Amino acid sequence: MVSLISRTGRHLQRYNENGRRLVVGCIPYRFKEDDTNNGRAHHDQVEVLVISSQKGQEMMFPKGGWELDESIVEAASRESLEEAGVVGNVEQQLGIWRFKSKSLEIYHEGYMFPLFVTQQLELWPEHNVRKREWMTIAEAREVCKHWWMKEALDKLVTRLSSGEVEQEQTTSR
């Protein structure tokens, strides 16, 4: 059973030694049906899921605070479930980015992961406040407003094109 309530508040929020809030996100992705290329994915065979921000129409990938009572992978999975309504396999980290908060003049440290989607829910905790849309890589790159998420997307494309993801899924599960 999936909880239809998102976590709120910052009392369990993690910060690094410099006082930067630690943020974890995912790029949910799937392969278009019946599109395979000898074990290697080409970027035009991949769709990624983008979501709207809670307070506006900006599009982005699911992300949020990494809390003290969870691992980084648990945080990535939770954010994808709460914000985008998808469940799947969290894969090897794409990288770490330092970025300035849009609303405050503070910096965050963001960790991004690919999430190979295995299930898309009809109801999820933030379904009333967010829109979600599957897009091509090019479309997502165009609409995503965060430079660091675009860099993470580029890293995912490189990884998918090289065939690394299929190896990760079979060796890490």
Report the phi/psi class of residue 34: left, alpha or beta, with left for phi > 0 and alpha for psi in -120 to 50: left
> Does any domain span residue 87?
yes
- Residue 6 within a domain: no
Q: What is the CATH number of the domain that holds 80?
A: 3.90.79.10
- Total count of domains within the chain: 1
pTM of the model: 0.83
Residue 2 lies in a domain: no
Report yes or no on 7 lying in a domain: no
Per-residue model confidence as pLDDT tens digits over 110-121: 999 999 999 999
Say how far apart CA 116 and CA 169 lie, in whole Å: 9
65 within 8 A of 48, measured Cβ to Cβ: no
pLDDT tens digit string along 120-130? 999 999 999 99
C-alpha distances (whole Å) from 139 to each of 92, 144, 169 are 24, 9, 26
**Tokens of residue 11, six digits:** 């009392």
